[in-house]
């Protein structure tokens, strides 16, 4: 695939990031020659076990490159990296096979100066977001660091600070950022594909503030400068959810063929898209980190209180119109297979044999599980169906303390475990990170959460010796 452009950047990192394997620390202290001006900004010493690896790697470079292996100092508010962009084809599928071209997916690849991690990371955005730059057309608030009139869900936060992409690049990961089909720069739909009846407009400011951005504090409300920048970056959904999922699964599968084995990190519905891509290309997914995926499976935790106030609870009701296949609305590879009686997923007949199940989860609760001998007393049942393509790799579901997902992400964990999937639940408050909402990757302490992710990833996939990329 042809590359559209190549450019160097140094604006997606941070000066004081919590880190376990910082490239600047690896390089700054491999030399004893430090000036007085350097001493004031010198980073803490790197682990002794790491320095020999860096030196040995430098010795393997050609002679004309070895002078560049002197101590590397990252920009104070950035990380050296090179960005390439390209497009991936997205296909409409029929009977599990590519049927016809349905559009494309815009992808950016960010290469750090030194690649020291074994697996690339693919970042997948959720509903109403895009992975790339979106003009906010708002005045810059004086005194707030690095603000611009643009917001990127993975690279630049609404407050102007660097996002998760910059953090991972800083740690030596090659990072891919996508605009899912029909979103942002991937909007190549024809007039026949887009219909007003299929579109989902951006939710109201009041709804977003109440359910997402202002769950625990007085900030994150309309008229707040950061909130307005975030709201201006949202985009409507142009397709039905089943169509969005089909195109995303196809495009992400094609991207995995391009990248090779990778770690998928998805937020919201982007996590569900990651599972669909894994279901399609299980041999090319190393691990899935699902940041508060859309859920719960086959049901809803949403209720309404006095005056129509939206409330979420751990009492989950069966709803055949949502996530009929557990973590998706389109078919997935179950064993034994699910009998398909409606290819569009539009009727109200359950695709899986499920029933609400009483659970003890931090008190009494209910969730929707596959019917089996353990939760049914009427007659013997076959063992639950298995999500066979999600079994080879590990999965991690990350939930924040103040999000509505804290009331029902546990149900997704239990559903996946019943389907034979190896999944861990990581609640941020158990790691001392408190007060976050659903947009944990955009909030003030997003680097702390990215640091946890890096720790979990390096535990699974230890880093390599550095590879020079620029």
> What is the pLDDT, as a whole number, of residue 310?
83
What CATH number does residue 25 fall under?
Answer: 3.40.50
User: Which domain, by its residues, includes 261?
Assistant: 5-292+438-468
Give residues with Cβ within 8 angstroms of 365, minimum separation 6. 314, 315, 316, 358, 359, 410
Instruction: Name the packing angle between helices 269-280 and 241-259 (round to 10°).
Output: 60
Placement of tokens 């005194």 in the chain? 143
Secondary element (H or E) of residue 417: helix 409-418
Specify the pLDDT at position 254. Answer: 95
Nearest to 109 by CA among 136, 88, 134: 88
Residues 21 and 127 placed together within one structural domain of the fold? yes
**CA atoms of 295 and 322, how far apart (whole Å):** 9
Please name which of 401, 370, 398, 397 lies closest in space to residue 385, comparing C-alpha atoms: 370
Distances (CA, A) of 257 to 88, 189, 280, 428: 10, 23, 11, 33
The answer to whether residues 388 and 335 touch, using CB atoms and an 8 Å cutoff, is yes
Residues 239 and 279 in one domain: yes
Helices (H), ranges, 32-178: 36-39, 51-59, 164-170
Q: Tell me, what's the pLDDT at 64? A: 57
pLDDT score at 138: 38
pLDDT at residue 10 in the model: 46
- CA-to-CA dists, residue 228 to 86, 142, 143, 308, angstroms: 30, 15, 17, 25
Same domain for 305 and 224: no
Q: Cα separation of 371 and 355, whole Å?
A: 6
330 and 365 both lie in a single domain: yes
260 and 304 together in one domain: no
Q: Are residues 97 and 144 in the same domain?
A: yes
How many domains, the chain? Answer: 2
Q: Do both 52 and 164 map to the same domain?
A: yes
Question: What pLDDT does 50 receive?
Answer: 42
CB atoms within 10 A of CB 434: 13
- Decide: helix, strand or coil at residue 399: strand
Distance CA 393, CA 415 (A): 16
Q: Are residues 331 and 455 in the same domain?
A: no
Q: Identify the DSSP state of 240.
A: -
**Tens digits of pLDDT across the chain (470 residues):** 444 444 444 444 444 443 333 333 333 333 333 333 333 333 334 344 444 544 555 555 556 555 555 555 666 666 778 899 999 988 876 665 666 676 789 999 999 988 889 899 999 999 888 876 544 333 334 333 333 334 468 888 888 888 899 999 989 999 999 999 988 788 766 555 555 556 677 877 888 887 777 655 556 677 778 888 888 888 888 888 898 999 999 999 999 999 999 999 999 999 999 999 999 999 999 999 999 999 899 999 988 877 777 888 888 999 988 999 999 999 999 999 987 654 444 555 567 888 888 776 566 688 899 988 676 656 667 789 999 999 999 999 999 998 999 999 999 999 999 999 999 999 999 999 998 989 999 998 999 999 999 999 999 998 876 555 55
List beta partners, residue 467. Answer: 115
Question: Does one domain contain both 288 and 213?
Answer: yes
Question: Is residue 153 located within the same domain as residue 78?
Answer: yes
Are residue 188 and residue 277 in the same domain, yes or no? yes
pTM, to two decimals: 0.78
CA distances from 131 to 201, 226, 257, 392 (A): 18, 18, 20, 28
Q: Which residues contact 430 (CB under 8 A, 6 or more apart)?
A: none
Going by C-alpha positions, the residue among 123, 247, 129, 93 that lies closest to residue 181 is 247
- Cα separation, 50 vs 45, whole angstroms: 10
| Same domain (yes/no): 414, 458 | no
Between CA 408 and CA 295 the distance in angstroms is: 7
Burial class (CB in 10 A: 0-12, 13-18, 19+), 340: exposed
């Amino acid at each position: 695939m042809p590359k559209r452009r190549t450019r160097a950047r140094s604006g997606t990192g941070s000066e004081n990031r919590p880190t376990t394997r910082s490239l600047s620390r690896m390089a700054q202290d491999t030399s004893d020659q430090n000036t007085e001006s350097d001493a004031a900004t010198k980073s803490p010493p790197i682990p002794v076990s790491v320095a020999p690896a860096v030196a040995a790697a430098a010795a393997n470079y050609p002679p004309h490159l070895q002078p560049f292996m002197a101590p590397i100092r990252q920009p104070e508010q950035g990380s050296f990296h090179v960005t390439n962009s390209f497009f991936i084809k997205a296909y409409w599928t029929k009977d599990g096979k590519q049927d016809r071209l349905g559009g494309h997916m815009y992808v950016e690849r960010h290469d750090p100066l030194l690649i020291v991690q074994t697996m690339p990371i693919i970042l997948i955005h959720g509903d109403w977001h895009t992975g790339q730059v979106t003009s906010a057309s708002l005045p810059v608030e004086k005194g707030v660091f690095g603000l611009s009139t643009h917001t990127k869900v993975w690279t630049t936060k609404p407050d102007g600070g660097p996002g998760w992409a910059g953090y991972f690049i800083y740690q030596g990961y090659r990072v891919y950022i996508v605009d899912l089909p029909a979103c942002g720069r991937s909007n190549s739909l024809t007039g026949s594909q887009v219909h007003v009846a299929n579109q989902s407009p951006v939710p109201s400011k009041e709804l977003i503030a109440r359910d997402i951005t202002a769950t625990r504090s007085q900030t994150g409300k309309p008229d707040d400068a950061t909130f307005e920048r975030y709201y201006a970056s949202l985009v409507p959904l142009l397709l039905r959810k089943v169509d969005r999922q089909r195109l995303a699964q196809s495009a992400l599968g094609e991207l995995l063929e391009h990248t090779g084995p990778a770690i998928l990190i998805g937020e919201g519905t982007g996590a569900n898209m990651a599972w669909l891509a894994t279901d399609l290309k299980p041999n090319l997914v190393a691990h899935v980190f699902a940041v508060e995926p859309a859920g719960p499976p086959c049901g809803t935790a949403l209720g309404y209180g006095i005056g129509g106030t939206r409330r979420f609870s751990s009492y989950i009701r069966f709803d055949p119109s949502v996530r009929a296949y557990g973590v998706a609305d389109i078919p997935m590879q179950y064993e034994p297979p699910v009998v398909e009686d409606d290819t569009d997923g539009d009727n109200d007949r359950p695709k899986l044999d499920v029933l609400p199940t009483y659970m003890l989860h931090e008190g009494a609760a209910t969730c929707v599980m596959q019917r089996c001998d353990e939760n049914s007393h009427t007659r013997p049942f076959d063992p639950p169906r298995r999500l066979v393509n999600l079994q080879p790799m590990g999965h991690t579901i990350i939930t924040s303390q103040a999000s509505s997902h804290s009331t029902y992400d546990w149900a997704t964990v239990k559903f996946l475990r019943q389907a034979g999937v190896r999944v861990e639940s990581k609640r941020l408050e158990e790691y001392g990170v408190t007060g976050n909402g659903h947009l944990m990757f955009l909030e003030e302490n997003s680097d702390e959460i990215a640091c946890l992710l890096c720790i979990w990833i390096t535990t699974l996939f230890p880093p390599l010796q550095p590879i020079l990329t620029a």
